[in-house]
């Protein structure tokens, strides 16, 4: 649920009076700093703005967004769309890099990536055409989807695919062998049939030849 307008206005006023980190921690908010054209909940924003859980951040092809809060720094790559949350970011498309000490996770489709322990962890997640790519820059991360949960060690990269993408691949890979098997079976049947017919012809000729001298 997105934050009402009056709460946004009051929080901005509080940020002018109190330290930003204290207000952000109290409201679950963060600060978004942009370089280029960036939209917040469908509206273009200036160079910086407060954001709250449930807000949608969208960067254009020529822009980058940086979200900062206590124990959290998020870099939103160009042409990306994500939803900000208290303990999780929902990546709709594009790529994001997270450095966190508060176990902030990223959900991309059916894949969830989160720090493996409560230490400062730096990792990247990108989502494109049903393929999710993960890179653990600092610290290990846990990757969970419908196939189970695995650990990606620091310095390693991994890939996960959506269930729909896996089904399409399985379907396409299963179709080719079936067609190929049909062709082989047809050829085998032709060869077997040809052998049977040839054998019968040889038998008939042999019988005819052996019988011809005794014929009056």
For the chain, the structural domain boundaries read 5-162, 167-214
Answer whether 0.85 is exceeded by the pTM. no
By CB atoms closer than 10 A (0-12, 13-18, 19+), residue 199 is: exposed
Q: For the chain, give the percent of residues with pLDDT over 70.
A: 68
pLDDT for 131 beyond 60: yes
Which pLDDT value is given to residue 76? 97
The answer to whether the CB of 135 falls within 8 A of the CB of 157 is yes
Angstrom distance (rounded) from CA 65 to CA 84? 12
Backbone phi, then psi, for 95, in 5-degree steps? -145, 150
Q: Average pLDDT for residues 97-110, to the nearest whole number?
A: 94
60 and 40 Cβ atoms separated by less than 8 Å = no
Instruction: Determine how many CB atoms are found less than 10 A away from the CB of residue 132.
Output: 25
Could you tell me the two tokens for 161? 């695919």
- Per-residue model confidence as pLDDT tens digits over 75-86: 999 999 999 998
C-alpha 73/C-alpha 68 separation (Å) is 5
Residue spans of alpha helices (H) in 76-159: none
The mean pLDDT value of the chain amounts to: 79
Structural tokens at position 141? 């991360």
Top mean pLDDT of 3-17, 122-136, 158-172 is at: 122-136
Using DSSP's 3-state secondary structure scheme, residue 20 falls into helix
Residue 148 has pLDDT above 80, yes or no: yes
Architecture of the domain whose range is 5-162: Sandwich (2.60)
Q: How far apart are CA 111 and CA 93, in angstroms?
A: 13
Q: What is the pLDDT of residues 30-88, one digit of tens each?
A: 999 999 999 999 999 988 999 999 999 999 999 999 999 999 999 999 999 999 998 99
Tell me how far CA of residue 124 lies from CA of 67, 107, 152, in angstroms: 14, 12, 12
55/44 Cα distance (integer angstroms): 13
Distance from C-alpha of 214 to C-alpha of 187, rounded to nearest angstrom: 42
């Amino acid at each position: 649920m997105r934050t009402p307008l009056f709460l946004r206005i009051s929080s901005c006023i509080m940020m002018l009076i109190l330290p930003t980190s204290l207000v952000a921690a109290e409201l679950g908010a963060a600060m978004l700093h942009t370089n280029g054209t960036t939209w917040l909940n469908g509206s273009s924003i200036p160079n910086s703005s407060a954001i709250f859980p449930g807000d949608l951040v969208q960067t254009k092809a020529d822009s980058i967004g940086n979200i900062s809060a206590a124990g959290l720094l998020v870099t939103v790559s160009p042409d990306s769309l994500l939803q900000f949350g208290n303990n999780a970011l929902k990546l709709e498309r594009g790529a994001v890099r997270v450095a966190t000490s508060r176990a902030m996770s990223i959900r991309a489709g059916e894949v969830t990536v989160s720090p493996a322990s409560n230490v400062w962890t730096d990792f990247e997640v990108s989502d494109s055409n049903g393929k999710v790519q993960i890179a653990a820059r600092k610290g290990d991360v846990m990757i969970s989807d419908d196939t189970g949960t695995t650990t990606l060690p620091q310095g390693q990269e991994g890939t996960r695919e959506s269930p729909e993408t896996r089904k399409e691949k399985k379907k396409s890979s299963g179709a080719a062998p079936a067609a190929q098997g049909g062709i082989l079976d047809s050829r085998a049947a032709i060869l077997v049939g040809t052998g049977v017919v040839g054998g019968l012809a040889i038998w008939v000729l042999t019988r005819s030849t052996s019988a011809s001298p005794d014929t009056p």
